[in-house]
């Protein structure tokens, strides 16, 4: 595929765009600046909530003149334009009865469950060490509520079960049986189980965005490292897995970087496929 055909660059954040300290390194920033200058639209495609992706978009000046960008949050549950007004271009939400049902399930399993509002990460267990990882990752405060199911009176794109990795396989199996055919449950890390509307995935929301922009999958390059990135790597014209990606993710990629997320893997891919 000709390099000039890439018009949209979709980037996972954690483990891909950012290093383990949640920073964008200078070489990677320079590569993205050069891609933006060539008219490439940068899409930040993450499992994070919108509030957790927005600071990264701001740091990259996405939405400023000549710097087209979008936020794909909740693993594809919502797409927000980085331009003026931050319009929600597309979204899917959990069926309302699923919120109390998931809260009951988490209580039965004695694990924490969180969701989000515009201010932070909302949970009944702000001291839970696994829930706190979600706050750290998103650089958002933990907001304690006495009854999460009663508190949530707004549309929810995603809930997140946080737990000791040793317990994840059992809880995931139990949840898959309980909620089969109602929502999708899948692990996004050794200590997180995502609860999202049926069919939500990064590839589907990217397809909707590309259609809106008048582009096809051949105009898309996607970079990722996690299991929730597999669909977009498979879908993209150029799918790039980081050196630190899990084996099944690398299996979906057209290219695997030599460098990991701590050593400018994204810059390597952008320089190879967009800038040269």
- Gap between the Cα atoms of 24 and 126, Å rounded: 28
Instruction: Tell me the pTM.
Output: 0.89
Residue 54 · residue 187 · CB < 8 Å: no
Whether 224 contacts 12, CB under 8 Å: yes
Q: Using the structure block, give the residue that is written with the tokens 């069926």.
A: 95
Range of the domain at 60: 3-92+200-275
Residues contacting 108, CB < 8 A, separation 6+? none
Residue identified by tokens 């990752």 is: 137
Work out whether strand 183-189 and strand 192-197 pair parallel, antiparallel, or are unpaired: antiparallel
Residue 11: CATH number of its domain: 3.40.50.1000
Lookup: tokens for 96? 């309302």
Co-location of 147 and 215 in the same domain: no
Helix locations, the chain, DSSP H = 26-37, 50-59, 98-109, 129-138, 148-151, 168-178, 202-213, 230-235, 247-250, 265-270
Q: What size, in residues, is the chain?
A: 276
Q: Which pLDDT tens digits describe the chain residue by residue (276 residues)?
A: 444 699 999 999 999 999 999 999 999 999 999 999 999 999 999 999 999 999 999 999 999 999 999 999 999 999 999 998 889 998 999 999 999 999 999 999 999 999 999 899 999 999 999 999 999 989 899 999 999 999 999 999 999 999 999 999 999 999 999 999 999 998 888 999 999 999 999 999 999 999 999 999 999 999 999 988 999 999 999 999 999 999 999 999 999 999 999 999 999 999 999 998
| Residue from 180, 15, 160, 21 nearest 102 by CA | 160
Q: Are 206 and 72 in contact (CB under 8 A)?
A: yes
Is 25 in the same domain as 42? Answer: yes
Cross-strand partners of 80: 71, 88
> Last residue of a domain, which of 178, 197, 216?
197
121-150 pLDDT tens trace: 999 999 999 999 999 989 899 999 999 999
- Radius of gyration of the chain from its Cα atoms, rounded to whole angstroms: 18
Same domain, 82 and 205: yes
Q: Which residues contact 139 (CB under 8 A, 6 or more apart)?
A: 22, 52, 55
Q: Does 85 share its domain with 205?
A: yes
The reply to whether 135 and 226 lie within a common domain is no
Both 206 and 85 in one domain: the answer is yes
Q: Do 103 and 149 fall within a single domain? A: yes
Instruction: Please tell me the total count of domains within the chain.
Output: 2
Residue pair 41/9 in contact by the 8 Å Cβ criterion:
yes
């Amino acid at each position: 595929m000709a390099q000039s055909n890439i018009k949209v660059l979709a980037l996972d954040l954690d483990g891909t765009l950012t290093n383990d300290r949640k920073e964008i390194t200078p070489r990677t920033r320079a590569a993205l600046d050069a891609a933006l200058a060539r008219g490439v639209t940068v899409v930040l495609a993450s499992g994070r909530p919108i509030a957790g992706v927005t600071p990264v978009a701001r740091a990259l000046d996405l939405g400023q003149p000549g710097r087209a960008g979008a936020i794909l949050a909740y693993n594809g549950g919502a797409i927000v334009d980085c331009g003026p007004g931050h319009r929600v271009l597309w979204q899917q939400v959990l069926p309302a009865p699923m919120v109390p049902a998931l809260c009951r399930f988490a209580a039965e399993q004695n694990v924490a469950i969180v969701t989000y509002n515009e201010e932070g990460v909302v949970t009944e267990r702000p001291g839970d060490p696994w829930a706190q990882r979600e706050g750290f990752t998103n650089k958002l405060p933990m907001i304690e509520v006495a009854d999460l199911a009663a508190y949530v009176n707004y549309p929810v794109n995603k809930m997140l079960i946080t737990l000791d990795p040793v317990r994840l396989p059992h809880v995931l199996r139990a949840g898959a049986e309980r909620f089969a055919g109602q929502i999708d449950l899948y692990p996004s890390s050794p200590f997180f189980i995502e609860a999202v509307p049926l069919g939500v995935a990064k590839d589907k929301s990217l397809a909707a965005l590309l259609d809106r922009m008048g582009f096809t999958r051949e105009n898309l390059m996607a970079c990722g490292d996690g299991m929730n990135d597999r669909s977009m790597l498979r879908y993209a014209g150029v799918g790039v897995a980081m050196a630190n990606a899990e084996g099944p993710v690398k299996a979906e990629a057209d290219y695997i970087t030599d460098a990991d997320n701590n050593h400018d893997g994204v810059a390597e891919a952008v320089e190879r496929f967009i800038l040269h």
